[in-house]
Amino acid sequence: MNKKFFIENFKTLFYALLIAIFIRSIFVQPFYIPSSSMEPNLLVGDRLFVTKFSYGYSKHSMPFSPPIFNGRIFSKIPKRGDIIVFKTPADNRTDYIKRLIGLPGDSIQFIDGIIYINENQILKTIVSKEDILYCGKSKIKVMTFKEKLPNGKEYMASYRKDFSFQNSDKFFVPKKHYFFLGDNRDCSKDSRFLSEVGYVHEDNLVGKAQIMFFSSNSRIGSVFKFWKWNEIMRFKRFFKKIR
């Protein structure tokens, strides 16, 4: 009796685990925002659903990236401006989330703090000159702009007032690679830093950030402190489409 009970429960847990792995690998994966590199659009404590099918599948679509096949299957080309989760080229293990700026064959350059794609300037419109964002545990003063990419995609991006990534050599995006930036431009390890992130191979793409389903301010306290939910919970960010 006890043996049969144990076997039946083991089967139930085993099948439930297989179903969870299947859903996480093929359809959607929850993702937690651990850093301030995508402020003002994504905040520490945001929880997102990332769709795996958006760009097809590679070994990195699976938990622990098992080497069961090479390349991508059912591959689809990402759109410029998408917010994407990818495995960092440095270790092929750590998940990063950034905005796609450069496609294969593009040239990217910063001149006087303005981004140029294929020598065409990205349009920037000032939104605020006096914003405060986080950079790690520190607060920084920033200017926030609305940027518009060549395909018409618009989003908010912020630059420090006291220091900003002003000028760079040209970045030439290789074939089958992509160039990513954080929206919190002066508090982001991204493709500008070739030794740490650099160009991201298409096989490293995990999925597209689609919906924010939950958000809490962990700097104030734990979600288990229900008596402080009016301060901790960001209810206006629940079930918000990511742009």
Q: What separation in angstroms does the CA of 84 have from each of 1, 42, 71, 99?
A: 50, 12, 18, 6
What sign for the dihedral angle of Cα 160, 195, 94, 118?
Answer: positive
Is 215 part of the annotated catalytic residue set? no
Q: Are the C-beta atoms of residues 188 and 181 closer than 8 Å to each other?
A: yes
Q: What pLDDT is recorded for position 67?
A: 85
Ranking 1-5, 108-112, 167-171 by mean pLDDT, the lowest is 1-5
How large is the average pLDDT for residues 54-62? 89
> Of 128, 126, 107, which is closest to residue 179 (Cα–Cα)?
107
Answer with the residue of higher pLDDT: 8 or 122: 122
Catalytic one of 98, 158, 208, 216: 98
Q: Specify the pTM.
A: 0.88
Chain centroid offset of residue 11 CA: 36
Distance CA 191, CA 169 (A): 13
Catalytic one of 37, 58, 215, 216: 37
- Superfamily of 2-241 according to CATH: Umud Fragment, subunit A (2.10.109.10)
What does the pLDDT look like over 135-194, one tens digit per residue?
Answer: 988 999 999 999 999 999 999 999 998 878 888 999 999 999 999 999 999 999 999 999
Is 98 part of the annotated catalytic residue set? yes
What sign for the dihedral angle of Cα 206, 31, 147, 169?
Answer: negative
Instruction: Show me where the domains of the chain are located.
Output: 2-241
> Of 171, 158, 148, which is closest to residue 81 (Cα–Cα)?
148
Q: What are the start-end ranges of the E strands in 112-219? A: 114-117, 120-121, 123-135, 138-148, 154-160, 171-172, 177-181, 200-201, 205-215
What does the pLDDT look like over 191-211, one tens digit per residue?
Answer: 999 988 999 999 999 999 999
